[in-house]
């Protein structure tokens, strides 16, 4: 059974939000996801809200025994609501974070504070910073998993809140840090990104993602099932499959959150070279804590505690007595 591409965003969104109560409810959630995949009819967002409400109400009563305790403040904020309207597509894909601040709950510190930057179409921006500095939060906000508390995010001069969910998802290809895969075979997981793609297209995308050799070597090739949530793949393979989907989708705006994490240095280098070749004309937001292969980026911003502390080109930052230069020295 195939999930139509316009529904995958909803399913991924659903799965993302359920992470907060996944441990105690894994079985129920997977049943619901299977239901979604099979019926296509379930109103997923309504279900998310219902489950969230149910769990929120029962938070105090959640078992603590074999399950991890739920940290204070980790419940999602009020639902992000997308309009049902069809919004005119942005005329270009310049991306702007306009003084955006956000915290996951009122009793937590700001995860991003006063985030203010722009990327023009056909330009690549790298966001770097140590763990917990707020990099993935930028993706969460851009994908509208959460709303900024202050400021706005614009694509092509339009506030993303004015875009319908399908319009927003359509203009963006995302490789998230926790790439979500479906319990289908490799081919169907790829076809979610571009229904009707030819075998040659699928393998070209896998080549870029440095996964083609792996798939060729499988007895069932593209027909290999990858198990629930892609558990038969390593984390690195799942992420590379997500990169292949990004290539197939060919959206104008690319968001890559640690695409090379877990790869060996040679494979990482090959993937970055292949990605750079395909970036022409795209707006690229590349998140990484690996400070390698960033020479090709037009601009780099360094985050610390949710704020930009340095920015510039790789060469400029390296030549100054910057934190970036020190980090490069320490990490590489």
Ligand X SMILES: Nc1ncnc2c1ncn2[C@@H]1O[C@H](COP(=O)(O)OP(=O)(O)OP(=O)(O)O)[C@@H](O)[C@H]1O
Interaction between residue 15 and ligand X (CB under 6 A): no
Residue with Cβ nearer ligand X (184 or 287): 287
Binders of ligand X in range 228-247 (CB under 6 A): none
Q: Closest by alpha carbon to 79, among 43, 32, 107?
A: 43
Binders of ligand X in range 53-112 (CB under 6 A): 74, 104, 108, 111
How far is 70 from 54, CA to CA, in rounded Å?
A: 15
- Number of Cβ within 10 Å of residue 188's Cβ equals 18
Residue with Cβ nearer ligand X (156 or 259): 259
Binders of ligand X in range 148-187 (CB under 6 A): 177
Residue with Cβ nearer ligand X (52 or 136): 136
CB of 13 to ligand X, least distance (A): 14
Residue with Cβ nearer ligand X (111 or 263): 111
Name which position in 7, 96, 135, 144 contacts ligand X (CB under 6 A). Answer: 135
Per-residue mark of binding to ligand X, 193-212 (x: CB under 6 A): --------------------
Residue with Cβ nearer ligand X (113 or 193): 113
Interaction between residue 313 and ligand X (CB under 6 A): no
Interaction between residue 125 and ligand X (CB under 6 A): no
Contact range with ligand X by CB under 6 A, out of 42-50, 128-136, 165-173, 222-230: 128-136
Q: What's phi and psi for 126, nearest 5 deg?
A: -105, 135
Residue with Cβ nearer Mg ion (82 or 102): 102
- Name the residues that contact Mg ion, by CB under 5 A: 135-136, 177
Dmax (CA) for the chain in angstroms is 58
CB of 116 to ligand X, least distance (A): 17
Interaction between residue 134 and ligand X (CB under 6 A): yes
Name which position in 129, 148, 173, 252 contacts ligand X (CB under 6 A). Answer: 129
- Give contact residues for ligand X (rule: CB under 6 A): 74, 104, 108, 111, 129, 131-137, 177, 289
């Amino acid at each position: 059974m195939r999930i139509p591409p316009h529904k995958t965003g909803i399913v991924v969104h659903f799965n993302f939000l359920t992470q907060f109560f996944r441990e105690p409810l894994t079985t129920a959630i997977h049943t619901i996801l299977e239901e979604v995949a099979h019926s296509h009819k379930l109103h997923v967002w309504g279900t998310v809200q219902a489950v969230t409400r149910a769990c929120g109400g029962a938070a105090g009563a959640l078992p603590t025994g074999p399950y991890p305790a739920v940290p204070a403040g980790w419940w999602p904020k009020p639902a992000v609501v997308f309009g049902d309207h069809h919004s005119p597509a942005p005329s270009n894909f310049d991306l702007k974070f306009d003084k955006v601040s956000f915290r996951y709950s009122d009793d937590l510190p700001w995860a991003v504070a006063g985030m203010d930057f722009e990327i023009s179409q056909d330009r690549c921006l790298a966001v770097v910073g140590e763990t917990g500095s707020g990099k993935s939060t930028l993706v969460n906000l851009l994908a509208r998993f959460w709303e900024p508390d202050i400021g706005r995010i614009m694509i092509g001069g339009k506030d993303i809140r004015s875009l319908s969910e399908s319009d927003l998802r359509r203009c963006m290809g995302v490789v998230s840090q926790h790439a979500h895969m479906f319990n289908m075979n490799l081919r169907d997981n790829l076809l979610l990104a571009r229904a009707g793609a030819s075998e040659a297209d699928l393998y070209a995308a896998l080549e870029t993602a440095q996964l083609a050799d792996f798939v060729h070597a499988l007895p069932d090739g593209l027909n290999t099932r990858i198990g629930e949530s892609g558990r038969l793949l390593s984390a690195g393979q799942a992420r590379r499959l997500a990169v292949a989907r990004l290539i197939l989708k060919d959206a104008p705006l690319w968001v890559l959150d640690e695409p090379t994490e877990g790869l060996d240095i040679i494979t990482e280098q090959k993937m970055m070279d292949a990605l750079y070749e395909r970036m022409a004309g795209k707006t690229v937001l590349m998140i990484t804590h690996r400070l390698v292969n960033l020479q090709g980026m037009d601009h780099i911003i360094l985050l610390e505690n949710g704020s930009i502390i340095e920015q510039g080109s790789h060469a400029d930052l390296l030549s100054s007595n910057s934190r970036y230069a020190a980090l490069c020295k320490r990490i590489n």
